[in-house]
Every structure is written in C-alpha cells, then in structure tokens.
C-alpha cells in the first residue's frame, strides 16, 4: 500500500494515501494524483494545486507538534507523574527539552522557548500578560496526550545523535525550503508590491535571513558540530578559531540565533501574523503559510541547540563530567 502523504500548504491538512479520507468516503490506497482535479481540501477548501508532497519542511513540524498520539487511559496517574516536572520556576527551554510536545502549547500562547528559553514559565507568562495557571493546565494536558508518543529524550541521547538529528531534520530540509520560498517571495513582491509595499520589505528581510542562516548552518556543520562530537568521543577539549575554547563559537551561534529570531519576528509583524489580505492570490497565501512553517521549524531547531546541545557541550569542558 502506498504511504505517500501530500500536505495542504494553506492549512496543513495531510492527505495520507494509506488512510484515504473516510469523511468523504475516499478509500485507502487512492493516490492523491487520482483524486478529481476539482477536489478541495476537506479542512479549508483550498484547490488541489495548493497541495505539495510531504517531503517538504512542514511534515516534521506537523508530526511533532500536531499529531495526537494514544490517549493515556489513566490521566490522573499521568497528571501526578508530570505535575512534579512542571513548575512555574522551570525555564521554558527546559520544559520543552523534557517533553517536546509542550512546544505546541507555548507556541499557541506566543511564548518564545528557543532564544528566550532561559526565562522561567512565570516570567514568560508575565511578559505576555498570561495567567500562568492557565498555561500550566494546558501543558499538563499536552503531557497527557504525549506520554506514550515515544519522543526521543535529547537530554540523555548522545550528542552525536542529537547533532545528526538536527542536521537531517532541520538543516537539510530548511536549505531546500529557503530556496523555494525566496523565489516565491520575489514573485509576490514583484506582483503585489504596489498594493502591498510591506511584501517588498518582507522580501528584503527574507533574503538577508536566508543568506545569514545558510552561512550559520555551514559554520555549525563544518566547525562547531564536529568539535562537539570530537570532544564527546575523545574526552579532549577542542581549540577553536584563534585559540579559544568551545564557549566562543557557541556565543557567536547564540547571537546569530537571536538575529534570526528578530528577522522572523519582523516578518510576522509586517504580515499581521501571516494573515493573507483579502486580495491575496494563491502564491501570496502559500508564501505566508511557508514563512509560518519556517518560523515554527526554526523555533524547534534553535531550541534544541540553545537549550540542549550547547549547554551539554559546555559541560564537556569539565573533564570530570566527560566520562559519565
């Protein structure tokens, strides 16, 4: 049976050929290409040409943040087990490091858990004017859903495994996505720039963001990540650049993450939270949807580096901790 998946780039609905679409009496094994040309997205009604193969950057996001896994049959037990792990004084970065599905809740509330990951839950809620008790309750509900999801615990996996995961899950897909979205942004700015000058500004910000992110990932893959893997494998501190320790390249990477976060915030602000205007064509909508996907991927990507990989790599500087 085919397992090809195709995603609606407007609303993220996924047509899975292995499942068909029972709500519309579409049986499993019917290929997406064999659906009628006029077939609309069952969730948002978008035309068939708004779909694209799930090899794109959006699938990992969809599966990690939106797929609901098996419900726990005894939620009270789960609640008791996780209540201890969630505290108002735990940093939001640590909350997501413990359980990745919590990222979905924090994103709903607009809480930054990657670059702003050092803030406690209480501080992050206060900054956003949110009731911390309400957010805590949602986090516990997410824990109940995700308790049997089998997420990898990146706080205990080897750093080499975490690096391989970051490169294959975030670096490689986002490179392809950046090139595709750059062409789309150029087209939207050219066609709609007169009526929507903000899209010309979005194009300029995106092009700078793309160039800086490509260079940033190259530095991680060629210098920092091999250095971390070598420190883990040999137990020997590495010398970077002009003779400094690992904290120097990590400082630079953290700073570049902040700059990428600022560019994403600027594009979100200019597009009113990626909301298509009334006169938006299909390309305009796809561009906004794609930018939102890139932002969501970047939050997870940067979170895993800032809050898990880098702090664990810095621990390797202490020889007493290297062999544990």
Classify 261 as helix, strand or coil: helix
Single out the segment in contact with Fe ion by CB under 5 A; choices: 105-113, 229-237, 298-306, 312-320: 298-306
Residues near 186 by Cβ (< 8 Å), separated by ≥ 6?
A: 203
Residue 83 vs 211, nearer CB to Fe ion? 211
Beta bridge partners of 21: 26
Single out the segment in contact with Fe ion by CB under 5 A; choices: 58-66, 144-152, 216-224, 270-278: 216-224
Kindly state the smallest distance separating residue 164's Cβ from Fe ion, in Å. 12
Residue 145 vs 301, nearer CB to Fe ion? 301
Straight-line distance from the first to the last Cα atom of the chain, in angstroms, rounded to the nearest whole number = 45
CA distance 51 to 42: 12
Residue 34 vs 262, nearer CB to Fe ion? 262
Kindly state the smallest distance separating residue 166's Cβ from Fe ion, in Å. 6
Residue 15 vs 310, nearer CB to Fe ion? 310
Kindly state the smallest distance separating residue 246's Cβ from Fe ion, in Å. 14
**Closest by alpha carbon to 263, among 188, 191, 143, 181?**
181
Give yes or no for a contact between 66 and 187, defined as CB atoms under 8 angstroms apart: no
C-alpha dist (Å) from residue 235 to 129, 202, 228, 316? 45, 45, 10, 7
Within 141-160, the residues that bind Fe ion by CB under 5 A are none
If phi > 0 it is left, if psi is from -120 to 50 it is alpha, else beta; for residue 319 that is alpha
Kindly state the smallest distance separating residue 230's Cβ from Fe ion, in Å. 18
Which of 112, 177, 297, 305 is in the footprint of Fe ion by CB under 5 A? 305
Residue 143 vs 220, nearer CB to Fe ion? 220
Residue 297 binds Fe ion, judged by CB under 5 A: no
Residues near 159 by Cβ (< 8 Å), separated by ≥ 6?
A: 228, 229, 232, 309, 312, 313
Kindly state the smallest distance separating residue 225's Cβ from Fe ion, in Å. 8
Residue 143 vs 305, nearer CB to Fe ion? 305
Residues forming the site for Fe ion (CB under 5 A) = 220, 305
């Amino acid at each position: 049976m085919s397992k090809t998946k195709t995603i609606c780039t407007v609303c993220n609905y996924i047509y899975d050929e292995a499942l068909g679409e029972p709500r519309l009496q579409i049986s499993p094994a019917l290929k997406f290409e064999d659906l009628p040309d006029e077939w609309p997205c069952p969730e948002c009604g978008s035309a068939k040409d708004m779909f694209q193969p799930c090899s794109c950057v959006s699938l990992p996001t969809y599966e990690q943040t939106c797929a609901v896994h098996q419900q726990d049959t005894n939620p009270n037990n789960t609640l008791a087990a996780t209540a201890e792990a969630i505290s108002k004084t735990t940093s939001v970065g640590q909350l997501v490091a413990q359980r990745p599905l919590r990222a979905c809740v924090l994103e709903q509330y607009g809480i930054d858990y990657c670059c702003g990951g050092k803030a406690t839950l209480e501080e992050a809620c206060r900054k956003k004017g949110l009731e911390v008790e309400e957010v805590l309750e949602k986090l516990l509900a997410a824990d109940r859903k995700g308790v049997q999801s089998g997420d990898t615990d990146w706080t205990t996996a080897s750093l080499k495994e975490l690096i391989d995961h970051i490169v294959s899950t975030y670096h490689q897909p986002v490179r392809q996505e950046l090139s595709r979205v750059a062409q789309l942004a150029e087209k939207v700015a050219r066609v709609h720039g007169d009526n929507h000058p903000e899209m010309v500004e979005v194009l300029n910000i995106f092009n700078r963001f793309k160039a800086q992110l490509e260079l940033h990932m190259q530095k991680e893959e060629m210098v920092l990540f091999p250095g971390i893997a070598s420190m883990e494998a040999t137990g020997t501190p590495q010398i970077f650049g002009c003779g400094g320790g690992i904290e120097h390249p990590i400082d630079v990477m953290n700073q570049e993450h902040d700059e990428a976060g600022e560019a994403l915030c600027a594009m979100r602000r200019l597009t009113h939270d990626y909301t298509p205007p009334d006169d938006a064509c299909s390309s305009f909508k796809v561009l906004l949807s794609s930018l939102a996907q890139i932002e969501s991927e970047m939050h997870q990507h940067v979170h895993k580096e800032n809050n898990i990989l880098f702090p664990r790599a810095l621990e390797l500087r202490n020889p007493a901790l290297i062999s544990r």
